[in-house]
Amino acid sequence: MVSQVSTDMTLLAGDVIVCGTSLGIGSIEPDGFIDIGNEGIGVFRNSVD
């Protein structure tokens, strides 16, 4: 995946690649939130309309 993404854009140290949910998790419902993060960068929260 990293190789494929890097053909379209330059990846820098600390870049985060988000690719969806794992099997069995289900769909994201309207008015829900997606939280992405780790200890080094903190948390990015995005709402779903």
Boundaries of domain holding 13 = 2-47
Structure tokens at 10: 């330059």
Residue 23 and residue 20: Cα distance in Å, rounded? 10
Tokens at residue 22, please?
């794992």
pLDDT given at position 12: 94
Q: Residue 26 and residue 24: Cα distance in Å, rounded?
A: 6
Give pLDDT, residue 8: 93
Measured between alpha carbons, how far is 6 from 8 in angstroms, rounded to an integer?
Answer: 5
- How many structural domains compose the chain? 1
Give the whole-angstrom CA distance, residue 10 versus residue 43. 22
pLDDT of residue 39: 86
Give residue-wise pLDDT tens across range 1-49.
Answer: 889 999 999 999 888 887 877 778 878 888 988 888 888 889 989 998 8
User: Kind and range of the H or E element at 2?
Assistant: helix 2-8
Provide the pLDDT for residue 38: 82
